[in-house]
Amino acid sequence: MVRIGPYQIIELLGEGGVGRVHAAFDTVLEREVAIKSLRPELLNDKSFLERFRNEATHLARLNHPNITTLHSLFSEDHNLYMVMELVRGQSLDELLRARGARIGITDSVALITQVAEGLAYAHAMGVIHRDIKPANLMITDTGLVKIMDFGIARARGSQRLTRDGGIVGTLPYMAPEQLRGEPGDERSDLYSLAIVLYEMLAGQVPFAASTDYALMQAQIHARPPRLCLPGLGADVESALLRALAKKPERRFDSVQAFRDALRTSALGHETSSAGQRRARMPRPTAIAMRRLARIGHPTFRRFAVIAGAVVLAASLLGLVARMLVPSPAPSSLDLLAAPKTPSVERAAATGSGRLPPAIIPPPQMARPQPAVLERERHAH
């Protein structure tokens, strides 16, 4: 078995153009970890080494439930290794591809709220992610969302890693100012987060083109298509479109403000839906409710006393009859014919395109502790 320092390599979790991530076992602390390393052919490139150390430095600042935790950074055999928390689950990108359809409004807002919590914390610590996209958002088996890959993150006020004027990021999710070569700030992450929410609701990103140049032009100049979804409140769409404004100053001032707007909108939507359900109450039930409203009338009270006495007398007579007449013992045929109580098993839904059972507290709660997310009642 391959061993790097005190870590026994278990399996390859993922591989990209820059690095690899392995699952490993820490033989000292006896726990599973994830180890990220650069591809061997990039070890002599100073820019990639700088970026790798940059990611570790930024992660070392952050300690939040919605951000992957860095344990250590060390070098061995001329390579650099980041030892991080091992996150079991699936990325939002994998979830979207597995489902082949959009995600419901309630689930989408719940997921995005978690990401916004992590981003707001990172911004408060002076770290801008700059590459928010579904592939960098991991949903654990318990429904907790983890922001991953701070490889091109930047500290507020620091110099760029790309001094040659190039841009780094993922085009379908990049803010217009990033595409223009500007450094960007917290509102750039907000724009990318809004793109992710749009994709979850619509089943596709708002801008697509056959060439990178055409896609960049659409991101910079084109307006996103309006969302025409049943049940999507105008306030939710308004908050989303504001976060997608081309000019940063026209967006929300912070990711936290966007999160608060979504929470308020979701709460109003739930209250409105409850009101609509009450308005559609069947006539007999509505009549019964109006009758209950007259409970204070003296005639109603006299009727209630007489009815209560009759019910009590009938109950006592039934009890006496059961005591005087013994019940026959059940036969073996009766026992065989008795219905069995079905056992209910709840299976994990990860890896199958279903949302995990827990995601986030209700929108009206103020702290991002994971709570229960409703499963979708219908497949989209």
Residues 98 and 44 in one domain: no
Q: CATH number, domain at 39?
A: 3.30.200.20
Residues 79 and 140 in one domain: no
Point out the domain boundary residue: 246, 277, 308: 277
Residues 72 and 108 in one domain: no
Tens digit of each residue's pLDDT (9 = 90 or more) over 294-344? 434 444 445 444 555 655 666 666 655 555 555 444 433 333 333 333 333
For residue 289, the model assigns a pLDDT of: 33
For residue 27, the model assigns a pLDDT of: 96
The reply to whether 323 falls in a domain is: no
C-alpha closest to that of 117 among 49, 62, 37: 62
> What's the structural domain count of the chain?
2
The reply to whether 74 falls in a domain is: yes
Residues 54 and 95 in one domain: no
The reply to whether 315 falls in a domain is: no
The reply to whether 264 falls in a domain is: yes
Residues 229 and 104 in one domain: yes
Q: CATH number, domain at 93?
A: 1.10.510.10
| Residue 235 known to be catalytic | no
Point out the domain boundary residue: 226, 247, 277: 277
- The single residue of 131, 149, 189, 260 carrying the catalytic annotation is 131
Q: Give 326's strand partners.
A: none
Residues 132 and 271 in one domain: yes
One-letter identity of residue 324: L
Name all contacts of 18-22 with Cβ < 8 Å and 24+ positions apart: 18/42, 18/48, 18/51, 18/151, 19/52, 19/151
The reply to whether 67 falls in a domain is: yes
One-letter identity of residue 98: A
Residues 31 and 101 in one domain: no
1 exposed, middle or buried (CB, 10 Å; 0-12, 13-18, 19+)?
Answer: exposed
237 SS3 class: helix
Residues 174 and 261 in one domain: yes
Instruction: Assign residue 348 a region (left: φ > 0; alpha: ψ between -120 and 50; beta: otherwise).
Output: beta
pLDDT in single tens digits along all 380 residues of the chain? 799 999 999 999 988 878 899 999 999 999 999 999 998 888 888 888 888 998 999 999 999 999 999 999 999 988 899 999 999 999 999 999 988 778 989 999 999 999 999 999 999 999 999 999 999 999 998 999 999 998 888 776 555 444 444 567 899 999 999 999 888 899 999 999 999 999 999 999 999 999 999 999 999 999 999 888 888 888 899 999 999 999 999 999 999 999 999 988 765 555 444 444 443 433 333 333 333 334 344 444 454 445 556 556 666 666 555 555 554 444 333 333 333 333 333 333 334 566 665 554 434 434 443 433 343 444 44
Tens digit of each residue's pLDDT (9 = 90 or more) over 110-151? 999 999 999 999 999 999 999 999 999 999 989 999 999 988
Task: Give strand ranges (E) for the chain.
Answer: 3-4, 7-15, 19-26, 31-38, 70-76, 79-85, 89-91, 127-128, 137-140, 145-147, 154-155
Residues 250 and 123 in one domain: yes
Render 85-116 in DSSP notation, one character per residue: E---EEEHHHHHHHHTS---HHHHHHHHHHHH
Pairing of strands 89-91, 70-76: unpaired
The reply to whether 374 falls in a domain is: no
Query: Which residue segment(s) compose the domain that 247 sits in?
Result: 89-277
Residues 190 and 225 in one domain: yes
Backbone angles phi, psi at 40, to 5 degrees: -55, -35
pTM (global) more than 0.75: no
178 SS3 class: helix
The reply to whether 361 falls in a domain is: no
The reply to whether 245 falls in a domain is: yes
36 SS3 class: strand
Residues 78 and 113 in one domain: no
Residues 190 and 155 in one domain: yes
Point out the domain boundary residue: 43, 67, 85: 85
